[in-house]
Amino acid sequence: MPKSSKVTQRELSNEHVTESVADLLALEAPMDYKSSQMSMNMAGGGPPPIGKPDISPDLEDGRPAWNSKLQYILAQVGFSVGLGNVWRFPYLCQKNGGGAYLVPYFILLILIGIPLFFLELAVGQRIRRGSIGVWNYVYPRLGGIGVSSLMVCGFVGLYYNVIIGWSIFYFFQSFQYPLPWSECPIRRNGSQAIVEPECEKSSATTYFWYRETLNITSTIADSGGLNWRMTLSLLGAWIIVCLAVIKGIQSSGKVMYFSSLFPYVVLFCFLVRGIFLKGAVDGIAHMFTPKLEIMLEPQVWREAATQVFFALGLGFGGVIAFSSYNKRDNNCHFDAVLVSVINFVTSILATLVVFAVLGFKANVMNEKCVVDYTFHCKILSMNAEKILGYLNSNVLSQDLIPPHVNFSHLTSSDYAEMYGVIKIVKEDSFAQLGLEPCLLEDELNKAGAVQGTGLAFIAFTEAMTHFPASPFWSVMFFFMLINLGLGSMIGTMTGESSCNLYDLIFLPVGCCIVAFLCGLLFVQRSGNYFVAMFDDYSAGLPLTIVVILENVSVAWIYGTKRFMQDLEDMLGFRPYSVYFYLWKYVSPVCLLILIFATVVEMAISPPGYNAWVQDLAMERFQSYPPWALAMCFSLIIVAMLPLPLVFIARHYNWLPDGSNKLSVSYRKSLAKEASTLEDETRFILGKNPSEAPSPMPSHRAYLGPGSTSPVELITNSTSISGYGSGYQTNPAPPKSES
């Protein structure tokens, strides 16, 4: 007798009746909606059966799984640790009080960073769907959360991969000595050779970035046509990303082993090399010297909250997508704390490296203020020459020069001593002398005041030109940037592609092709201005609203108590009670304050961009023209539009409830179960499978608890003709039980 059948005896009768599993299930009492749990289990949410630790369909629902816990952690670390840790965090640290900035950052990491990161990990792991499917299940009327998250992922991915393209270009340019940005180009004017004026007015690295790399226009209105070198670099970047995500976590998981670990190797190499450079200790000391008076300013806390928010990748969907491939009994609380700590430590490590190198650069520039090295000969700078001229013309007395000062071996300390004496004695006429102070502190402030592309492609590259074996360090640095960007892009693409369709290989390929074509906007000669526009407007406010709605939908609509109970069932232990209050009260309040501060900042700051003026060889702020301003606000509106649209459509039943649709892989596994169950039923009835007619119509949809039979349910959902019909495995989301 088949193992799925059961022999029972009717009351008042000796006749044995063989009932199939289908018959027993058909007589089962309907499910209680209020007692339902956040689970994809048809039977109730127990732990999944133990399977082999390889990337294969999960035994429970056919969803792929990670090779190992290490691969999963590396994927989450690779997604959360990105370019912002290297070129955004050091800038904010220097700007907002040095070491004092670490205090508000760490406090906000505890209050909103780890709790919300834990929430996204737990929801993805429990429901085992992508970002759209998760929020459709939790509360269908807020299903627009997943769509908005998808829109933001798309906007960010478009310009983020352009930065990877820039890094690829610099990477290949680094295979030459001397580095092409180490000296200004010489232009021939007849028989006379002159330095390129634009380069002479700025610097060699600045000129190479704006003119050789971007070939930038002076306004956003002048597109200038495509920059073919950047177009090829962007194409290469999208090919790399496509190959990394083409087979889902089967391909991206293997890439993460290298792309997540290699940046740490480079950072440690730079740190070891950097601390032995002259001036490195000065740079590190400058960064960590706390300015306590700045720490209490509201702007510092707002920027710390924003950095915590984006550093962990909250709201992008990548965190949820990655965790959905875990087993349900995985300890996601440990994962949340571990990844958050790794992210924080990485930011500190990157800041040490950046300020060690920038300290070296500041020291070099400070020495150039006093003496210069031209053609390997030590010559006096303009400031020292001015002092000598004033001494020869008797404007300054020889008595003002300390006796130990030797102009043929002038040091920075000697110049500083002379400068101080002259400033005191000639107080009334000192301004007319035109002497520069040449203070290391000023150079450090100048070096630390750059961020983003200015730090990576101008300040840091200039510092590396002074390294011994500079091409080697340049290759390592830009290869690190490529890997940091690739890890974040894999998470972004996974968030886009995991909408219950990730089994289809053509989806990530199609996404990459469309994204490359859209990304041509950013490889025009004016493309850098659009990168800045998307960076300022496409993610900040929409993503904050997405995350607060995620928090509210779980803590207030689904219910914090019920969610804590689900976590206890899933993890085997109850999370700390403090999470109850953080999710329900603290995090929503903090996010509301952040949204308010962001709106105020956008209102008081004039919308514009820093345009490169070729004649002046410097940046100048310009306001956006009306069409560009409309484009800025369109980015915000388009990203947030799915939220009200989905809510209204589902409220009036214009849009079907997407909370109970199954993934393709799950439906394939159910097809096999349906075939086996039907064969057993026909065998019990005494008919050969080939002779028995199909017991149920093939096009009749399952309407949830109370409908006829699970055999009909499975037959309908797995039939080819009814593949798109609604299939419900879970009851409707329960009412809130806070």
Cross-strand pairs, 193: 188
Question: Which residues face 372 on adjacent strands?
Answer: 379
H runs (alpha helix) in 520-559: 527-537, 540-552
Q: In 3D, which of 66, 180, 52 has the Cα closest to residue 457? A: 180
- 3-state secondary structure string across 15-70: CEEEECHHHHHHCCCCCCHHHCCCCCCCCCCCCCCCCCCCCCCCCCCCCCCCCCHH
Helix (H/G/I), strand (E/B), else coil: 380: strand
Chain centre distance of CA 521: 21
What is the model's pLDDT at position 457?
86
Q: pLDDT tens for residues 288-321? A: 777 777 777 888 888 888 888 888 988 888 888 8
Q: CB of 125 within 8 A of CB of 326?
A: yes
More confident position, 486 or 189: 486
Residue 391 has pLDDT above 70, yes or no: yes
Has 78 been labeled as part of a binding site? Answer: yes
The rounded distance, in Å, linking the Cα atoms of 474 and 101 is 30
Identify the three-state secondary structure at position 8: strand
Please name the residue that has the structure tokens 């304050």. Answer: 593
User: Can you say whether residue 331 is alpha, beta or left, with left for phi > 0 and alpha for psi between -120 and 50 degrees?
Assistant: beta
Q: Nearest-CA neighbor of 155 among 737, 655, 638?
A: 638
Asked if pLDDT for residue 335 goes beyond 80, the answer is yes
Tell me, what's the pLDDT at 525? 93
pLDDT at 438 over 50: yes
pLDDT at 255 over 80: no
Say how far apart CA 202 and CA 210 lie, in whole Å.
11
Kindly state the average pLDDT of the residues 123-142. Answer: 87
For residue 505, which amino acid is it? I
The stretch 242-254 carries a mean pLDDT of 70
Strand partners for 619: 612
**pLDDT value for 261:** 87
pLDDT band at 725, cuts 50/70/90? very low
101 burial type by CB count under 10 A (0-12 exposed, 13-18 middle, 19+ buried)? buried
Alpha carbons 519 and 533: distance in angstroms, whole number: 14
Domains with residue ranges and CATH for the chain: 71-180+227-349+456-461+470-611+621-659 (1.20.1740)
Report the mean per-residue pLDDT for the chain: 76
Q: Using the predicted structure, report yes or no on whether residue 470 has a pLDDT greater than 70.
A: yes
Q: What is the pLDDT of residue 723?
A: 33
pLDDT band for 721, please (50, 70, 90 cuts): very low
Give me the sign of the Cα torsion angle 131, 132, 138, 141. positive
CA distance 117 to 309: 9
- Which range scores top for mean pLDDT: 357-366, 487-496, 627-636? 627-636
Question: What letter would DSSP give residue 733?
Answer: P
**For residue 23, pLDDT beyond 50:** no
pLDDT digits (tens, 9 = 90+) for 498-549: 554 444 556 778 888 888 999 999 999 999 999 999 988 888 889 899 999 9
Residues 314-352, buried b or exposed e (16+ Cβ, 10 A)?
bbbbbbbbbbbbbbbebbbbebbeebbebbbebbebbbb
* Residue range 625-676, pLDDT digits in tens: 999 999 999 999 999 999 999 999 998 888 876 555 544 444 454 455 556 5
425 assigned to a ligand binding site: no
Compare 695 and 263 and report the one with higher pLDDT. 263
pLDDT at 229: 92
Amino acid 592: pLDDT? 93
Q: Nearest to residue 23, comparing CAs of 712, 717, 688, 700?
A: 712
User: What integer pLDDT is reported at residue 62 of this predicted model?
Assistant: 58
pLDDT at 384 over 90: no
* Tokens found for residue 468: 């011994």
Residue 366 clears pLDDT 50, i.e. is over it: yes
**Residue pLDDT, tens place only, 105-121:** 999 999 999 999 999 99
Does residue 102 have a known ligand-binding role? no
Give residue 729's pLDDT band: very low, low, confident or very high (50, 70, 90).
very low
Residues in the chain: 738
- Roughly how many angstroms between the first and final C-alpha of the chain, as a whole number? 48
Q: Are 590 and 112 in contact (CB under 8 A)?
A: yes
Would you say the C-alpha torsion 363, 367, 372, 373 has a positive or negative sign? negative
Residue 573 DSSP one-character state: S
Contact 327, 570 (CB under 8 A): no
In whole angstroms, give the CA distance from residue 520 to residue 17: 70
pLDDT at 116: 94
* Neighbour-count burial for 545-570, b at 16+ CB within 10 Å, e otherwise: bbbbbbbbbbbebbbbebbbebbebb
State the pLDDT confidence band at 248, using cuts at 50, 70 and 90: low
**Of 5-9, 548-552, 688-692, highest mean pLDDT:** 548-552
d(CA 674, CA 716) in angstroms, rounded, equals 10
The predicted-structure confidence for 149-163, as pLDDT tens digits, reads as follows: 888 888 988 999 999
Residue 660 marked in a binding site: no
> Do 22 and 710 touch, CB atoms closer than 8 A?
yes
Share of the chain above pLDDT 90, in %: 24
Which has the closest alpha carbon to 313: 292, 340, 337, 287?
340
DSSP string, 104-155: HHHHHIIIIIHHHHHHHHHHHHHH---HHHHHHHH-GGGTHHHHHHHHHHHH
Mean pLDDT of 20-41: 40
| Strand, coil or helix: 9 | strand
Q: What pLDDT was estimated at residue 84?
A: 84
User: Rounded CA gap, 70 and 445, in Å?
Assistant: 40
Element counts in the chain: helices (H) and strands (E)? 34, 8
pLDDT grade, residue 704 (50/70/90)?
A: very low
For residue 410, give the amino acid letter: L
Residue 175: other Cβ atoms inside 10 A: 11
Question: In the prediction, which pLDDT does 581 show?
Answer: 93
Coil, strand, or helix at residue 469?
coil
The single-letter code of the amino acid at 429 is: S
What are φ and ψ of residue 31, in 5° steps? Answer: -70, 150
**Closest among 448, 481, 485 to 90, alpha carbons compared:** 448
Long-range contacts at 562-570 (CB < 8 A, ≥ 24 apart): 562/37, 562/38, 562/734, 562/737, 563/38, 563/122, 565/37, 566/37, 566/38, 566/39, 566/45, 566/126, 567/122, 567/126, 567/333, 569/37, 569/45, 570/45, 570/47, 570/122, 570/125, 570/126, 570/328, 570/329
- Sorting pLDDT into bands at 50, 70 and 90, what band is 616? confident
283 φ, ψ (degrees, to nearest 5)? -65, -45
Task: Compute the distance between CA of residue 630 and CA of residue 638 in angstroms, rounded to an integer.
Answer: 12
Give pairs for 308-311: CB < 8 Å, separation 24+: 308/105, 308/108, 308/109, 308/112, 308/113, 309/112, 309/113, 309/543, 309/544, 309/547, 309/594, 310/84, 310/539, 310/543, 311/80, 311/84, 311/85, 311/89, 311/113, 311/343, 311/347
Considering Cα of 439, then 365, then 410, then 423, what sign does the dihedral take?
negative
pTM: 0.75
203 — pLDDT class (breaks 50, 70, 90):
confident
d(CA 680, CA 674): 10
Residue 689 to residue 711: CA distance in whole angstroms: 15
343 carries a ligand binding annotation: yes
Q: Is 531 annotated as a binding residue?
A: no
* DSSP characters over 311-348: HTTTTSSHHHHHHTTS-TTS-HHHHHHHHHHHHHHHHH
- 277: confidence class by pLDDT, cuts 50, 70, 90: confident
